[in-house]
Amino acid sequence: MRLERARVIVLGAGLAGAATAYHLANRGVGPVVVFDPGTPGAGATGRAAGIVSEQLWDRWDVDVVRESKEEYARLAGAADPSVYRTVGFARWTTDPVVAAALRESSDRLRAWGVPVRSLSPDELRFRVPIARCDDVREAVWHDADGVVTPSALADLYVLGARRAGVEFLLGAPLDSFRSEEGAWNLATGGRTVRAPAAVVAAGAWSKRLLASVGRPVPLAPYRTQAALVRPPSPAPVALPSVHDLDLDVYARPEDGGRILAGDGTERVECDPETFRASGDEAFVAHLAESFARRFPGWKDAELVRAWAGVCTATPDRRPLIGALRGGDGLYCITGFNGFGVMRAGGSARRLAELIASGGGAREAARLAGVEPTRFAAEPRPFDPKPGFTLDGGADPRF
């Protein structure tokens, strides 16, 4: 088994891993080697909904998502504009308590520079003419939110990373990953790569991988579901992304007049090796009932397919990005709580800046609040609580 040397090993070729490698290489850090037992974007990335919204719950998230949106638009514009589109995003509720929380959330967002605004019933009907909106108490709109095709975006990052000299080791199992003689060694397919730094970007497999090298972190893989449907007739206008907070159902426009809809999230930990990858009948039935109630024109929509993927939750809904305990060059970028596509580009850029700087104070400050070391060395089990919460999650440091 021949030994090869690199500057950084990245484990995982999903959107976060591919973006991290891209940013490392474009900052002169190299050689960079990316390992994945499958193909780029074949895990959670390829099963993600692809909504990209600044309507989040703390300042750090808003800033990072804004960076991601700008980067996605630039990458797509140079290669395939259909990969990222600005469509707007409307969220609403009929519940007076939730309406008050939605207004409070909007006030926080505006304080962070996100120009969300309330929609009148007439405006909501104009934006989403296929929805029944007569009972809506509060609706919030943001013009600049968008949608992305996650697998195609991952391909753009892979292409850019390869052009910058990154090598991808794909399609072979991981034989071993361990620390040895002050470096990180990865063995796969008859090759061993040694590097002083390694980034674990393995999505739902990150928990097991980090525990195997003695760096456990509080992660809980959980199953979530989505479906692609074809309405019986096209909408009269171009539709935005929408989220009914009462039904906990979101929908976004897809190509060919189709609709991608969820949220079939399960709030219990699951095994990423054995989870059911197809959609459940109960989830599909819930979508059908929700469409009949809120989107009457979609109640007879044709189900194209339904599927499930595995995301990773953290106890405080904030991701784990940065250096692990030990000071030996091990980093991670994981724990996105279902919003990895929104955060991947900006998060990967910040992590790459930290690695390229050798742990500089300014670069570390840009990851303040999401450091993996904020939790105890021996994490306790917890139940996943992902989703578009309206709770204020602002970190006092911001």
We report the CATH number of the domain holding residue 299 as 3.30.9.10
Pair 127, 172 in one domain: no
Q: What whole-number distance in Å separates Cα of residue 204 and Cα of residue 309?
A: 10
Residues 237 and 351 in one domain: no
Cβ neighbours for 281, distance < 8 A, ≥ 6 positions apart: none
What is the structure's pLDDT at 275?
A: 94
Residue from 19, 350, 35, 329 nearest 205 by CA: 35
Stretches in the chain below the pLDDT threshold 50: 393-398
Of 155, 86, 136, 142, give the one whose Cα is nearest residue 114: 142
Is there a single domain that holds both residue 196 and residue 275? Answer: no
Residue ranges making up the domain that contains 332 = 2-46+150-219+316-374
Q: Is residue 61 part of a domain?
A: no
> Does 224 share its domain with 140?
yes
- Please write the tens of the pLDDT for every residue from 1-28: 567 999 999 999 999 999 999 999 999 9
**60 within domain boundaries:** no
Structure tokens at 367: 């990851």
**Whole-model pTM above 0.75?**
yes
Same domain? For 208 and 162 the reply is yes
> Is residue 323 in some structural domain?
yes
Q: Which residue reads 């009914």 in tokens?
A: 244
Q: Is residue 13 part of a domain?
A: yes
DSSP at 65:
H
Which pLDDT score, from 0 to 100, does residue 388 have?
A: 67
Residues 139 and 183 in one domain: no
In a domain, 172, yes or no: yes
> What does the DSSP assignment read for 245-289?
TTTTEEEEE-GGG-EEEE-----SB--TTT---BPPHHHHHHHHH
How far apart, in Å, are the Cα atoms of 75 and each of 29, 147, 232, 263, 276?
A: 21, 14, 34, 28, 33
**Do residues 123 and 136 make contact, with C-beta atoms less than 8 angstroms apart?**
no
State phi, psi for 17 to the nearest 5 degrees.
Answer: -65, -45
Residue 232 lies in a domain: yes
Residues in the chain: 398
Same domain, yes or no: 138 and 238: yes
Nearest to 68 by CA among 47, 80, 84: 84
- What pLDDT is attached to residue 100? 94
Residue 231 belongs to a domain: yes
State the distance between the two ends of the chain, measured CA to CA, in whole angstroms. 49
Q: How many domains does the chain divide into?
A: 2
* Of the residues 312, 346, 366, the one at which a domain ends: 312
Contact 199, 11 (CB under 8 A): yes
Same domain for 337 and 207:
yes
CA–CA separation, 251 vs 242, rounded Å? 5
Residues 38 and 185 in one domain: yes
Tell whether 265 and 287 lie within a shared domain: yes
Domain containing residue 193: CATH number: 3.50.50.60
Phi, psi of 139 (to 5 degrees): -135, 140
| Whether residues 332 and 363 fall in one domain | yes
* Same domain? 293 vs 229: yes
3-state secondary structure of 58: coil
Residue 78 within any structural domain of the chain: no
